[in-house]
Structure 1
């Protein structure tokens, strides 16, 4: 996940400044492995976007050179607007601009094809919501988890609203568990110690719930 917020909103930044910052963030995402900076071994590159208090995902298919927007909301918070002036582009086009310039810098073998064909396409998701404004981050993480390229993603979301809410709650617990127990979480050991202390003071309870939900 590259932290590119100011690159999308700062009107007076230059192309060079944005690409330099993108490169620095990407190196951090790749655990400072410079051998991967050319992105030649990746079939897809995903950007989780937080805009106007809403999460959605911009996916770059590096094999078929497509750009796809996955958003759980019926009504979008972003536009799809390009311009010769970077500041006037909508967010998907700004991300394309920065990423395309970076790929040119590192000499990606498909950069000419990519820059010629890339334009964002919003994917029509059967499970889109019109009133759920609180679970967008969970939807976004599920979209990233299940994306395998192309203009579709198989997430196994139910069309029944009650069942979908249950699935979202299950995913929320799953993602929280992964984040808290991740090796990159600097406070993981302290949290585990607190959890063990809390558990030792509570009566032991066992709760089992059978849930059918496809793993990403």
Structure 2
């Protein structure tokens, strides 16, 4: 189909964010191998679990393999009047006016080949073929028309995260395939088949990225070195949740610190990510002549920390917990003091205060390129509120509602940044 496209059609595909598909070729889809790879996909942790390691399925990975856009807004599907008109127009080319519309993929491809024009019909046909081949199809021989419910102008495709749409489809279709006795998988089988072929390259790229981040850090802070460190912290973002991994270099330890209480299934919940990070860190230590440190951490088992202030499901404040953990953890779990109470309304009040504290520190830090603008705007706002007597009303209401809680559980201490920050500097806007 690609070779039959006109230059104008190829240009639209490129502008729509699907440029790499113009070079995409697949001669044959080996069914037995495909289903073997499908069985290795862990839909809960969204990763391929292979004999030689794992491949985390992310938007960036999908983009690298298939070329689908992986940044931008989430794709939404609607059934408004505009979409109904789009469906009606698309179906009319096949002589279908109403009722069930059963159209084969080959029929859509034939329509694309018949003209070199770049009209709405071509755009719809391309998206239907692309979505059915790469993302999700029907269980029968007829194309799914779901992509035509796309809630935007078809010329705006590049603004949306098609890679994430594929990932969601992969998870949903795998779960459905596991529940039924049907052997027909309707999800992105082509992606699953190609992904393991990039496994070695992906692992090498991960390590190269890890090294570049470490290099960037030590170039920025030349007075710091691993040889003089007691603890090395790695903030982790996985599936939208933040937690901390700590390596103790003086008393070899590998701690996973999370505000969520995981219980006995902790190892399963985190999956292979912590050990993969440890692997990269150990390789980095060996490569940079820290052989003794590397050997001491190479086989140490991860410790899933249990803390009295952990929560059952507070994912909203995971970033606040992460910063507090990095502020206060010194490598001694028994002597660890965060001032955080057990999960309760009191803890909620503490988190509100910490959020304000950290936001102020970030916004007014010399590391913030917009710092002066923030200070100027806050001063103007404060003066305006003071002149309107709004500030006294807000403060009085806040003290009446939350004052007792905050006074009883105040968390003291100034937020400190690396060498760039002067801890004695007061960035509070003048009145």
TM-score scaled by length of structure 1 = 0.80
Alignment of structure 1 residues 94-109 onto 2, 5 Å: 94-108=276-290, 109=292
Contact 1:74 1:129 in 2 (8 A): yes
User: 2-side partners of 1:13 and 1:182: how far apart?
Assistant: 39
Structure (1 or 2) with the larger CA radius of gyration:
2
User: 2-side partners of 1:160 and 1:20: how far apart?
Assistant: 40
Partner of 1:57: 244
Alignment of structure 1 residues 141-180 onto 2, 5 Å: 141-151=323-333, 153-159=336-342, 161-180=344-363
- The counterpart of 1:213, out of the listed 411, 416, 420, is 411
User: Alpha carbon RMSD of aligned pairs, Å?
Assistant: 2.7
Task: State the secondary structure of the residue aligned to 1:20.
Answer: helix
Contact 2:254 2:301 in 1 (8 A): yes
User: 1-side partners of 2:280 and 2:373: how far apart?
Assistant: 38
User: 2-side partners of 1:103 and 1:94: how far apart?
Assistant: 14
State the Cα distance separating 1:114 from its structure 2 match. Answer: 2.1
State the Cα distance separating 1:127 from its structure 2 match. Answer: 1.4
Partner of 1:19: 207
- Give per-residue Cα distances to partners, 1:54-77, cap 9 Å, x unaligned: 11111111111100011111238x
Contact 2:252 2:296 in 1 (8 A): yes
The structure, 1 or 2, with the larger RCO (C-alpha pairs under 8 Å, 6+ apart) is 1
- Give per-residue Cα distances to partners, 1:16-54, cap 9 Å, x unaligned: 543332222123223534564x51111001111111111
Q: Does 1:28 align with 2:216?
A: yes
Partner of 1:41: 228
User: 1-side partners of 2:207 and 2:343: how far apart?
Assistant: 43
Alignment of structure 1 residues 50-129 onto 2, 5 Å: 50-75=237-262, 80=267, 90-108=272-290, 109-116=292-299, 118-129=300-311
User: 2-side partners of 1:166 and 1:157: how far apart?
Assistant: 10
**Structure-2 change in CA distance of 1:90 and 1:171 (3 Å):** same
State the Cα distance separating 1:160 from its structure 2 match. Answer: 5.8
State the Cα distance separating 1:104 from its structure 2 match. Answer: 0.6
More helix by share: 2
- The counterpart of 1:196, out of the listed 351, 357, 379, is 379
Structure 1: gaps (5+ residues): 1-7, 82-88
Partner of 1:85: none
User: 1-side partners of 2:315 and 2:283: how far apart?
Assistant: 34
TM-score scaled by length of structure 2 = 0.42
- Give per-residue Cα distances to partners, 1:172-195, cap 9 Å, x unaligned: 111111111111111111111111
Structure 2: gaps (5+ residues): 1-54, 62-198, 415-431
**Structure-2 change in CA distance of 1:124 and 1:160 (3 Å):** closer
